[in-house]
């Protein structure tokens, strides 16, 4: 079997970390999506059970509001609300663990992507594994499309480009 696949390449540490970061990023997005769905459920339930609460607090998803909602007597809908709040807190803890694991991988591998202004660990874990490893620190101008900061296009001729719009194109 090994002889039939003569063109195999070794699995490098870079490829392993890239796949691990991709997997963790997908898992992170799934958990955030699940938490958002639970937060919508809390908002709906809180509006039904406590309609006056919406006028008193700016958002429902604060620790103090969750503590307040968790302390009420336990009718059926309130019990559902308490369980949903407990699930949101558990998901928050899981999301923090995933983000810590992503940051540890980025620090271990000394990725230069986080040296670009405006790109932290969270954004770096999304960009770096998909763009491949950067063997050298690439010029900042070639990363502008990833950051959404492309300079406007200036053309000669009769074009008056007074108010340029954001351009969507990728690095070459």
Q: What is the pLDDT of residues 33-77, one digit of tens each?
A: 999 999 999 999 888 888 888 888 888 888 888 888 888 776 777
Q: What does the pLDDT average to over 4-32? A: 76
Q: For residue 52, give Cα distances in angstroms to 44, 48, 60, 75.
A: 13, 10, 12, 18
Using pLDDT thresholds of 50, 70 and 90, give the confidence band for residue 10: low
pTM exceeding 0.75: no
Residue that wins the pLDDT comparison between 111 and 50:
50
Using pLDDT thresholds of 50, 70 and 90, give the confidence band for residue 172: very low
> Can you give the pLDDT at residue 49?
85
Element (H, E) at 106: helix 76-109
Q: Is 60 exposed, middle or buried (0-12, 13-18, 19+ CB in 10 A)?
A: buried
> Can you give the pLDDT at residue 153?
57
> Can you give the pLDDT at residue 136?
45
Mean pLDDT of the chain: 76
């Amino acid at each position: 079997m090994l002889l039939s696949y003569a063109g195999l390449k070794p699995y490098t540490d870079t490829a392993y970390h890239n796949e691990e970061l991709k997997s963790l990023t997908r898992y992170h997005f799934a958990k955030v999506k699940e938490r958002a769905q639970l937060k919508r459920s809390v908002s709906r339930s809180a509006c039904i059970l406590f309609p006056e609460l919406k006028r008193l607090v700016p958002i429902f998803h604060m620790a103090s509001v969750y503590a307040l909602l968790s302390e009420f007597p336990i009718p059926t809908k309130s019990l559902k609300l308490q369980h949903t709040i407990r699930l949101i807190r558990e998901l928050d803890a899981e999301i923090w663990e995933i983000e810590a694991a992503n940051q540890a991988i980025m620090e271990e591998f000394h990725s230069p992507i986080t040296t670009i202004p405006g790109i932290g660990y969270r954004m770096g874990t999304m960009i770096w594994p998909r763009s491949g490893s950067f063997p050298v620190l690439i010029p900042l101008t070639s990363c502008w499309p990833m950051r959404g900061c492309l300079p406007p296009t200036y053309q000669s001729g009769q074009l008056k480009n007074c108010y340029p719009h954001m351009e969507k194109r990728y690095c070459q």
